[in-house]
Structures are given as structure tokens and as C-alpha cells.
Amino acid sequence: MSTPPDTDTAPDQRALDRFAAVVGSAHVLTGNRIGPDYHHDEALAGTPVAPRYLALPATAGETAELLAAAAAAGIPVTARGAGTGLSGACRPAPGGLVISFERMAAVLEVDIDNQVAVVQPGVTLAALDAATAPYGLMYTVFPGELSASIGGTVGTNAGGMRAVRYGVTRHNVLGLQAALPSGELLRTGGKLTKLSAGYDLTQLIIGSEGTLALATEITVRLYPRPAHSVTLMAAFADLAAVMAAVPATLRTGVAPTILEYLDTVTLDAISRAQELELGIDPGVRAAARAYLVIGLDNRERAPLDTDIDLLGQLLESSGALNIYVLEGHSARLLIEAREKAFWSAKAAGADEVLDVVVPRAAMPAFFDRATALADEVGAVLVGCGHAGDGNVHMGVFCRAEATREALLRRVFTLATDLGGAVSGEHGLGRIKTAHFTAVADPVALTLMRGIKHAFDPAGILNPGVILEEKVHA
């Protein structure tokens, strides 16, 4: 991405001095010292923006002091983790301060007895996975990019393929420490699996995309690592048959860790991109239009084999053209390839990626009607998604921006009319906020604005994200 020239990048010396007094002059950058990576995230749409200031705090206290200084100066603040987001939430506001958490990247504690970990926001999913593995435990939120930071996933309420069993971020974060624009530090929740004492501020901050408070410490739930796992891939003649097999699968009582669908275009794309050979019979490949991928695991091999047999019979009776049982290396490669579907879509020239969510039973209707909307304007929608929870991932191929934005508005309206929402896990960021405010319940928007003002009366935290607001520059 290239960044257009910014004619108003000169820092305010008083603000710069104040930031430097908090974190040290070596950890406050301005102008050309701020590299282009800090101008954007991985969103396909939108223009990168150069921040006026970049600060790298080392403690929660420093983060709170930075916010207080920014609020006093009326400088907008954007938090940044690893920059892997897909909706522009960490794209800076013009004239703003970026607070990057790369110096706050420690796993503070792995508590075996309570099965939790306490981490700083800059810790990556890969680092947490490595830290918990020696204890036979794992953090179960895997949104598809292990370089993502825990703080970033808290901001967007990230989900991923394993959400069908383990839930999304908000189901797996038990407590937070967060910095407020007042300069105060707030603690919510803790090493508790249940809580009924006042408003749940932990859940309010999760998914707020840096608009209410900045998480400086996160307590996450851990689960035992399974000893045995297998992946089933069933080919079907059409997507309706795939979606009919999903509730039937869940009614068996088997608890899959992964329940995904892929259309043939997406499977072919990720197979080429990842040099993946799945051994699909040519006749099956020619007849198939969609695939259902089911991940299973267990502590013991015998019950896992029982589940494989049960689901194999069910999928066959549901009209599967063929069923492939993948284990070990081949299973891992398929899941890794599916997790990289965004990069395959980007490489193929997608102009946008969507993560709308609808009730699971409404997915076939959504696909049919969304595809018809795209056909009307000569656009193409292809994709995959979390069949178990109704989260639809689509690559949008539509070069003309005005046409594409009009199509997206119609697709988001369709999802909302079907009982769904604009985003299931990527968040709104700066890319989808206008669409969200156009289709959201006005009463809900009014309440959200009141909550925003209570946390952030100066309006400095990520203005223009989630709620359309005037940028304080």
C-alpha cells in the first residue's frame, strides 16, 4: 500500500514532550520515523493514513498516562497490536497518535490450577500457544492468523473455525485490565468462570475495537490439548446439501471442533496457493460444488473412531459424493490452507472480504440471494465460512468502488433482514462503520453513543470506528 502525502503532519511540541515524558523520547516517533506498516492493517479497502505520533508504552500505567495526555490535547488515539485486522480498525485517524503494544508482549502467568493465562496485549497467538503447550493446555481462539495479537483479537471479538465448539473471544476472556482516557486503570472480571455482580464491563470492552478503553492485561481461559484428532472432508453436489448436513451433524451429539464449508472455487484456490494435494477423485471434483469439512478430536482414540463411523454414515445418507478421512500431515495442511483463505482471495484480486453472520439455517437463502444481487451488477462472490455458526466469508470481486459499496449495502441489509449482522468476527473498523450505522437499530445506536461518551467523553478513542463521529484532529 502507498500512503498519500499528508500536509498536516507537524507534531505539536507540547504534546510530543508530554508523550516523551511518559515513555521516553526513544519510544515516541514522528514523521518519517514512523514506518508505513503503522499506516494500515490488512484491510483490502481504504487508504493508509500516516499518524502524527507513534508511542510504544512498556506498562499499563504508561498507556493510561498516554491516553490522559492525548485527551487533554484533543488528539485521537488508535491502538495497534500486530496489524492483522481486516476492517481498518487500526488505521490511524488523521493527525492522531498510534499506541503500539509491541513492548507489552509478555505471557505473565500460566495458572494450571485455574486453567487460565494472564497476558499482555502484544502477545501473539503463536507465542501463547507455545507458552501453554508444555502444560498440555491451549487457548482455543484461532482466527486464522497466529501472528495476531491477543489485544487485537479482544478488540474485534475474533472467532475462527473452532468457535463452533469453544466459542469466540468473549467466551474465552475472563478478565481485563484496561486503560481509560481519564488516565485511570480499570480491572474487570478475573480468574472467574462465573460472575453476577453488576454490569459486565469485560464483555462491553471486548469487541469495542479500541473505542472505549485499551486492554493492557488479559486473562484468558485455557483448555486441555486433545491427544487425537482427525478431519473429515465430504464433497456435495450443491451448497444446500452441505447446509442440510450441518444441523444433522450437530444433532448426533458429536461435538466437532471445526465445521466449515468451502465452495469449489475456494478449495481450488487454496489448494493451488498452498500446493495442497488432497487426492480427490477427478469425477468427484467435477461433480462437486461445495465441501463440508469437519474436525474431530478426543482424549482417547476409540471414541474418536466411533464418531468417525457415525458421521461417515450420516454424511453418506445426506448425499455426500465422497468422504475423505484426513489425519496427521494432510489434515493439518488442509486446515492451514483454509486458515489462509484470505491470502488466497487477496492473491486472486479480491476487492473486499466479508464476514457477515446469519442464523445457521438461513445460510442457503443468504447465499442464493446475495449471489443474485452480485449477478445484477456483474460482480462475483466466492467463499467459505463457518457452517456451524452461520459466519459467511466471501471474497468480493467488483472493481468499481461505487458499484461495490452499493452492493455491500444491499448484502449487509439482506443479512440483517435474515436476522444476522454486518460482521461475525472481523469487526467494523473504518471500512464497514457507515454500513453498520445504516442498517443497525436506531435505539441500539443511541445507547451505544451513550456508552461511548461515558467511557470516552473527549471522543479520542478510535473516532469513526463503530460509530460515525467527528474526528478530533
d(CA 169, CA 157): 5
For the domain spanning 107-224, the CATH number is: 3.30.465.10
* DSSP conformation class of 81: S
Q: Which of 43-47, 331-335, 357-361 has the lowest mean pLDDT?
A: 331-335
Residue 422 near residue 356, CB atoms below 8 Å: yes
Task: Please give the angle made by the CA atoms of 328, 334 and 337, to the nearest 5 degrees.
Answer: 135
d(CA 258, CA 166): 10
Average of pLDDT values for 420-432?
A: 97
Q: Is the pTM of this model over 0.85?
A: yes
What is residue 200's predicted lDDT score, i.e. its pLDDT?
Answer: 96
Average pLDDT, the chain: 94
What is residue 276's predicted lDDT score, i.e. its pLDDT?
Answer: 83
d(CA 304, CA 214): 42
For the domain spanning 228-342, the CATH number is: 3.30.70.2190
Average of pLDDT values for 419-436?
A: 97
What is residue 113's predicted lDDT score, i.e. its pLDDT?
Answer: 97
* DSSP conformation class of 54: E
- Tens digits of residue pLDDT in 81-125: 999 999 999 999 999 999 999 999 999 999 999 999 999 999 999
> Is there a common fold for 13-103 and 107-224?
no
- Tens digits of residue pLDDT in 351-405: 999 999 999 999 989 999 999 999 999 999 998 889 999 999 999 999 999 999 9
Domain boundaries, the chain: 13-103, 107-224, 228-342, 349-427
What is residue 472's predicted lDDT score, i.e. its pLDDT?
Answer: 41
What is residue 275's predicted lDDT score, i.e. its pLDDT?
Answer: 81
- Counting DSSP H helices and E strands in the chain, the numbers are 17, 18
Average of pLDDT values for 189-212?
A: 96
pLDDT for residue 228 is more than 80:
yes
What is residue 5's predicted lDDT score, i.e. its pLDDT?
Answer: 42
What is residue 8's predicted lDDT score, i.e. its pLDDT?
Answer: 53
d(CA 23, CA 98): 13
Average of pLDDT values for 308-337?
A: 93
Residue 143 near residue 126, CB atoms below 8 Å: no
Average of pLDDT values for 257-262?
A: 95
Question: Is domain 349-427 given the CATH code 3.30.70.2740 in the classification?
Answer: yes
What is residue 330's predicted lDDT score, i.e. its pLDDT?
Answer: 83
What is residue 6's predicted lDDT score, i.e. its pLDDT?
Answer: 46
What is residue 311's predicted lDDT score, i.e. its pLDDT?
Answer: 97
Average of pLDDT values for 330-334?
A: 87
pLDDT for residue 471 is more than 60:
no
Which band of pLDDT confidence, cut at 50, 70 and 90, is reported for residue 9?
low
**Torsion over CA of 205, 210, 211 and 215, rounded to 10 degrees?**
40
What is residue 409's predicted lDDT score, i.e. its pLDDT?
Answer: 98
Class of domain 13-103: alpha beta
- Tens digits of residue pLDDT in 64-78: 999 999 999 999 999
Which band of pLDDT confidence, cut at 50, 70 and 90, is reported for residue 3?
very low
Question: Which uninterrupted H or E stretch holds 435?
Answer: helix 433-439
Task: Please give the angle made by the CA atoms of 438, 442 and 444, to the nearest 5 degrees.
Answer: 115
Q: Which of 70-74, 259-263, 458-462 has the lowest mean pLDDT?
A: 259-263
Phi-psi region of 286 (alpha: psi -120 to 50; beta: other; left: phi over 0): alpha
Beta strand 173-179 pairing with 228-236: unpaired
Question: Which uninterrupted H or E stretch holds 415?
Answer: helix 401-417
At 376, the amino acid letter reads E
